[in-house]
Amino acid sequence: MDDRLKNLKTAMDRTAFSGTKFTEQHKQHVQRQLNVDELKKMILSLLFEAKSGIEITQLLHVRGVQDVVNNEGMIYSILHEQENDGLVFASWNDGVKRYKLTKAGKKQLQQEGHVKLTFKERLLGVRMHAE
């Protein structure tokens, strides 16, 4: 993969982006975006059973996801985006908003192949082991 990326960079340098400089700030911005995409997938994988934002945050903290430490608001932004995209359904119950995967969300997880859950994990709505 690394060679393909180098070849792509070389090709891009010769063509459309010949005058564009890729600064360290740009690299950091891209890395943050990549982390957000991984975080989105991770959040979706937690929602086979309905969970509140607080429960999702706690599960991510326990799993050592550093992107959400002192930035829990990012989780709610992602949940809202996923809700608008039809991947997550949200409902209020006793004053707590709970999120759960829709059929489209389950299908996306399955298609991406990033999350492979056993029946027990799907039943419990949690990951039982690391891949």
Would you say 69 and 57 are in contact if contact means Cβ atoms under 8 Å apart? no
The answer to whether position 2 is within a domain reads no
CATH label of the domain that carries residue 57: 1.10.10.10
Query: Which tens digits make up the pLDDT trace of 111-124?
Result: 876 555 555 555 55
Q: Report the range out of 24-33, 38-47, 83-92 with the highest average pLDDT.
A: 83-92
Distance CA 57, CA 66 (A): 11
Domain total of the chain: 1
* Mean per-residue pLDDT, 31-39: 68
The answer to whether position 53 is within a domain reads yes
The answer to whether position 14 is within a domain reads no
Inter-axis angle of helices 73-84 and 53-62, nearest 10: 120
Q: What is the pLDDT of residue 16?
A: 60
Phi and psi, residue 129, nearest 5°? -150, 160
Residue 96: band (very low, low, confident or very high) from pLDDT cuts 50, 70, 90: very high
Q: Which residue has the higher pLDDT, 81 or 34?
A: 81
Residue 32: band (very low, low, confident or very high) from pLDDT cuts 50, 70, 90: low
Write out the residue range of the structural domain in which residue 72 sits: 22-124
Would you say 78 and 40 are in contact if contact means Cβ atoms under 8 Å apart? yes
Secondary structure (H, E, C), 19-34: CCCCCHHHHHHHHHHH
The answer to whether position 93 is within a domain reads yes
The answer to whether position 15 is within a domain reads no
Q: Which residue has the higher pLDDT, 130 or 24?
A: 24
DSSP classification of residue 64: T
Place of tokens 């943050």: 32
Q: What is the pLDDT of residue 130?
A: 43
The answer to whether position 84 is within a domain reads yes
The answer to whether position 98 is within a domain reads yes
DSSP classification of residue 68: G
Lowest-confidence pick of 3-7, 18-22, 107-111: 18-22
The answer to whether position 3 is within a domain reads no
